[in-house]
Amino acid sequence: MAETPKTRLSLETLAISAGYDAAEHQGAAKPPIYMTSTFVYPSAAQAKAVHQAFFDGEVPEKSGKNGFIYARLDHPNLVMAQARIATLDRAEDSALFASGMAAVSTLAQCFLRPGDSVLHSRPIYGGTDMLLHTHMTEMGVHPVGFTDGVDEAHLTQMADAAMARGPLTLIMVESPANPTCAIADIALISRLADRVALAQGRRPIISVDNTFLGPFLQSPLEHGADLCLTSLTKYAGGHSDFMGGSISGPNALVGKLKKLRTLMGNHADPHNCWMLLRSVETMALRTERAVANARTIATFLRDHPKVVRITYLGFLAEGSPERAVYDRQCAASGSTFSFDVEGGEAGAFRFLDRLRLLRFAVSLGGTETLICHPATTTHYAVPEEARAAVHIGPATMRVSVGIETASDLVADLAQALEAV
């Protein structure tokens, strides 16, 4: 896999080492957990210095260099985990949050003001959609969704529609999108942001939600995104036993997010940071296995007569615009995709109720294979029309393929499809 120019070490190697130096922690081979809410100042002068550094700087002082103050502001496990995630995202810095939605909502509150417009991809994570179209709308923000992230004319038209409603200050992209794997061209959107800057005198910030592929398969910052957002709950945590979120990018932007995080109090706590450090060590291995399993399962489903539609990225048609973007932007097809069975909602429900090994649950990215029915679960709150426009139908199911033995998964799918 790609090397990072600074260190010449691979991302896989850095996932195991970055952000932690045993020499700074009494030689402990693995990170201790600092379960403390507050930190004792060595002197009054030091207390003054550390507060000055934290509150007066454009960016909160990094790495607790001058000492820590209080765990909501910063704590040792947060420093370690943020350094590791920043490395994986190829960013200057990263801010960690209590969940993916804590990251999404802090991003929105940080960069959007009443009267602003926000352009976003559609479909987008159900929580993000709801945040923008309920709470942020009530706060006077105008969300405008685009449905084709590779079509320049459509994107331009939607950006114009957004600017007509108010200054376009943020472009929120999710690619591949949840749950359909719709792709957006990050480089194209970056050029669009340049044109928006000429038109309105201010360049919108581009954030890309990289949850579906993760750092080993896609690096949004290298394609022109300003910020890379991830629900760490999914592939980074990787065992469906943890929640977290991150936003990586340049110091100046991440610093603003950290300052707001201090006020919102939605940082990642010491135990969660420790869990994350441990989990990302095996993330590359888990990703590799899940990607291979997903190809087997997607191929089985594509060739099954009762499956009528599948959105697996590996099947994007050669010569299509989406395929060109995928080849440029993604290293592999990931392991979450959606498919439709025959027979509408009734067919889907019969199939779901018959599964024995695959677990019917929301979320994705765990070691175990999970399947859900977006229209009635994750995207329940998205209006039916909006769902239909992006092909989330009554028979659409999303599957997140885990690291079990692929033939066991195929056998379970085969017997459940008999019920359709």
Task: Identify the residue among 101, 171, 184, 225 touching ligand PLP (CB under 6 A).
Answer: 101
Binding mask 23-52 for ligand PLP (x = CB under 6 A): ------------------------------
Task: Using the minimum distance from each CB to ligand PLP, give the nearer residue, 127 or 343.
Answer: 127
Sheet holding 359-360, edge to edge: 307-310, 336-341, 396-400, 370-372, 359-360
Report yes or no: 293 and 403 within 8 Å, Cβ to Cβ. Answer: yes
Is position 125 an interface residue for ligand PLP (rule: CB under 6 A)?
Answer: yes
Q: How many helices (H) and strands (E) does the chain have?
A: 15, 12
Which residue type sits at 96? Answer: L
Q: Is 413 exposed, middle or buried (0-12, 13-18, 19+ CB in 10 A)?
A: buried
Rounded to whole angstroms, the Cα distance separating 176 from 182 reads 5
Q: Tokens standing for 409?
A: 């998964």
Is position 235 an interface residue for ligand PLP (rule: CB under 6 A)?
Answer: no
Q: Tokens standing for 385?
A: 């029309």
Task: Identify the residue among 41, 72, 127, 156 touching ligand PLP (CB under 6 A).
Answer: 127
Q: Tokens standing for 316?
A: 């994007």
Task: Using the minimum distance from each CB to ligand PLP, give the nearer residue, 221 or 364.
Answer: 364
Q: Tokens standing for 237?
A: 């945590």
Question: What part of residues 253-312 is at the interface with ligand PLP (CB under 6 A)?
Answer: none
Report the nearest approach of ligand PLP to the CB of residue 128 (Å): 6
Task: Using the minimum distance from each CB to ligand PLP, give the nearer residue, 234 or 259.
Answer: 234
Q: Tokens standing for 199?
A: 């038109």
CB atoms within 10 A of CB 376: 12
Report the nearest approach of ligand PLP to the CB of residue 364 (Å): 6
Task: Using the minimum distance from each CB to ligand PLP, give the nearer residue, 163 or 232.
Answer: 232
Task: Using the minimum distance from each CB to ligand PLP, give the nearer residue, 207 or 231.
Answer: 231
Report the nearest approach of ligand PLP to the CB of residue 50 (Å): 31
Task: Using the minimum distance from each CB to ligand PLP, give the nearer residue, 116 or 174.
Answer: 174
Q: Tokens standing for 102?
A: 């804590």
**Could you please report the per-residue DSSP string of 338-392?**
EEEESSHHHHHHHHHHH-SSSEE-S---SSS-EEE-GGGTTTTTS-HHHHHHTT-
Binding mask 170-189 for ligand PLP (x = CB under 6 A): ----x---x-----------
Nearest in space to 206 (alpha carbons), one of 168, 245, 244? 168
Report yes or no: 226 and 205 within 8 Å, Cβ to Cβ. Answer: yes
Q: What is the 3-state secondary structure (H, E, C) of 365-376?
A: CCCCCEEECHHH
Task: Using the minimum distance from each CB to ligand PLP, give the nearer residue, 163 or 283.
Answer: 283
Cβ contacts of residue 194 below 8 Å, gap of 6+?
Answer: 203
Q: Tokens standing for 405?
A: 């033995």
Report the nearest approach of ligand PLP to the CB of residue 419 (Å): 28
Task: Using the minimum distance from each CB to ligand PLP, give the nearer residue, 224 or 245.
Answer: 245
Question: What part of residues 81-100 is at the interface with ligand PLP (CB under 6 A)?
Answer: 99-100
Is position 245 an interface residue for ligand PLP (rule: CB under 6 A)?
Answer: yes
SS3 35: coil
Report yes or no: 109 and 90 within 8 Å, Cβ to Cβ. Answer: no
Report the nearest approach of ligand PLP to the CB of residue 283 (Å): 16
Task: Using the minimum distance from each CB to ligand PLP, give the nearer residue, 117 or 211.
Answer: 211
Binding mask 199-228 for ligand PLP (x = CB under 6 A): ----------x-x-----------------
Binding site for ligand PLP (CB under 6 A): 99-101, 104, 125, 127, 174, 178, 209, 211, 231, 233-234, 243, 245
